[in-house]
Amino acid sequence: MAPEPLRNDPFPEIRRADDAGAAFVLESKGEWWHAGFHLTTAIVGPTVLTLPYAFRGLGWGLGFLCLTVMGLVTFYSYYLMSLVLDHCEKSGRRHIRFRELAADVLGSGWMFYFVVLIQTAVNTGISIGAILLAGECIQIMYSELSPHGPLKLYHFIAMVTVVMIFLSQFPSFHSLRHINLVSLFLSLGYTFLVVGACINAGKSKNAPPRDYSLEASQLSRVFSASTSISIIAAIFGNGILPEIQATLAPPATGKMLKGLMLCYSVILVTFYSAAVSGYWVFGNKANSNILKSLMPDEGPSLAPTWVLGLAVVFILLQLFAIGLVYSQVAYEIMEKKSADANKAVFSPRNLIPRIILRTLYMALCGFFAAMLPFFGDINGVVGAIGFIPLDFVLPMLLYNMTFKPKKSSVTFWINTSIMVVFSGAGLLGSFSSIRKLVLDANKFKLFSSDIVD
């Protein structure tokens, strides 16, 4: 028999037997290393290859400082959120959704809808972006094999979407654990390939001249630095830590810290090596995707074709895993309403709606990816507006509201300072991202075969 709802519990439905979103999509069967796999896939993706570009707006010193501070702050932030989740679980309220945790702790109905809106925008944006980038990976390989072939970018996006529709039928977040383990190794694989290619390029006779100077205009420097900080913040963000912790078999207390340690071990290896090697070779000419810097439009390739080709294949494969991870919140919302938890997960009653709804969701993501090949600029705005609140502000606020540290304590002031500083950084990042969106607007063309850089 299900336990009785606690008095004054704003979300008694999370313990009801008919919560199919919890029973199927967020089933709690995982171990701490599974959470580590999920976290690594959510954070360590192809965006690591944009770090040299982020450094060009900051320079060596400020680049290292921002990368290190962002890493420490996000680790601290995620750890605090796991403590809040552990505290709620010990109190008899195990929250498995970010939106319900925020609304419960902060005691405000509007906060529930705020988190739903921001989290949905971020997750859907990443799903669209993953399909778009996967399509670009196939286009890169196709253009090497058939430079004048008839296929366009939207053809490859359609191919990726079909594969994603098939993979989206994995019933639960936990069922992705093996895929996300492979994803972890893929991230290490393409990072090492790109780092090796950068070192080789830096030592070759075709190495580009190195210039690490920043922009001449003070205002331009401020905008570039704000954009770079937003990029680094978005790279460290995930916005789905409660849903990942929900996959842990209860009691979840203490397990997420081990998962975070595993994830940040991979981050330490990949982020610093990619940032340093790429910026060392290309300086302030680093492209937003370092692979493009290694494959310039003019002149010889700066790395062996097989190395770059293998890196692109690894990236392509990992993008499928990333798209699946960030789709889980949408699936949980859909199945909470459409599925029947009292019937088997693969019963016709649950299987048919799952196939239909997940196919429609992925098809919609694929359509927007094909229609908006300039989605990277849009995602920059979404990232600045979404990741900063979810990963740098709300966890601190949730901790302060839950554990109520004294206002004279170091913890309170550290948390408050992080909230203030990163709220300001989010506003600056949003402004600079919107500015870039406006400046690039004349390049936008629906269903184009070229992605706006």
Phi-psi group of 217: left, alpha or beta (phi > 0 → left; psi -120 to 50 → alpha; rest → beta): beta
C-alpha to C-alpha distance for 240 and 67, rounded to whole angstroms: 21
Q: Which two tokens stand for residue 43?
A: 């954070």
- pLDDT recorded at residue 322: 95
- pLDDT recorded at residue 447: 57
The pLDDT > 90 percentage for the chain reads 44
C-alpha to C-alpha distance for 149 and 152, rounded to whole angstroms: 8
What is the mean pLDDT of the segment spanning 326-339? Answer: 90
State the sign of the Cα–Cα–Cα–Cα dihedral 340, 321, 77, 55. negative
Rounded to whole angstroms, what are the CA distances from 255 to 32, 79, 251, 385?
5, 11, 9, 30
- pLDDT of 162-216, one tens digit each? 999 999 999 999 999 999 999 999 999 999 999 999 999 988 887 788 888 888 7
pLDDT band at 448 (very low <50, low <70, confident <90, very high): low
- pLDDT of 233-244, one tens digit each? 888 988 899 999
Q: Which two tokens stand for residue 414?
A: 């550290």
Q: Report phi then psi at 140, rounded to 5.
A: -60, -45
Q: Which residue has the tokens 């694989």?
A: 189
Q: What Rg, from alpha-carbon coordinates, does the chain have?
A: 22
Q: Does 122 score more than 50 pLDDT?
A: yes
Of the candidates 135, 124, 130, 100, the residue with the CA atom closest to the CA atom of residue 114: 100
Range with the poorest average pLDDT among 25-29, 35-39, 226-230, 446-450: 446-450
The helix/strand/coil state of 248 is strand
Among 115-124, 153-162, 221-230, 373-382, name the most confident range: 153-162
pLDDT band at 453 (very low <50, low <70, confident <90, very high): low
Rounded to whole angstroms, what are the CA distances from 112 to 89, 98, 109, 302?
19, 9, 5, 50
Taking the chain, what is the end-to-end CA distance rounded to the nearest angstrom? 56
- pLDDT recorded at residue 292: 83
- pLDDT recorded at residue 3: 41
Among 177-181, 252-256, 287-291, 424-428, name the most confident range: 177-181
Give the burial class of 314: count Cβ atoms within 10 A of its Cβ; 0-12 exposed, 13-18 middle, 19 or more buried: buried
- pLDDT recorded at residue 7: 39
- pLDDT recorded at residue 112: 79
Q: Does 143 score more than 60 pLDDT?
A: yes
Residue 245 near residue 256 (C-beta atoms within 8 A) = yes
Count the Cβ atoms, other than its own, within 10 Å of residue 62.
Answer: 15
DSSP state, residue 385: H
Range with the poorest average pLDDT among 66-75, 93-102, 186-195: 93-102
Q: Report phi then psi at 171, rounded to 5.
A: -70, -30
Of the candidates 287, 271, 269, 290, the residue with the CA atom closest to the CA atom of residue 197: 290
Among 72-76, 373-377, 431-435, name the most confident range: 72-76
Best CATH choice for the domain 20-443 from the list 3.40.50.720, 1.20.1740.10, 2.40.30.130, 3.40.30.10: 1.20.1740.10
Give the burial class of 423: count Cβ atoms within 10 A of its Cβ; 0-12 exposed, 13-18 middle, 19 or more buried: middle
Domain range list for the chain: 20-443
Range with the poorest average pLDDT among 212-226, 329-343, 355-369: 212-226
Please provide the average confidence, as pLDDT, over all residues in the chain. 85
Residue 88 near residue 101 (C-beta atoms within 8 A) = yes
Range with the poorest average pLDDT among 145-154, 204-213, 291-300: 291-300
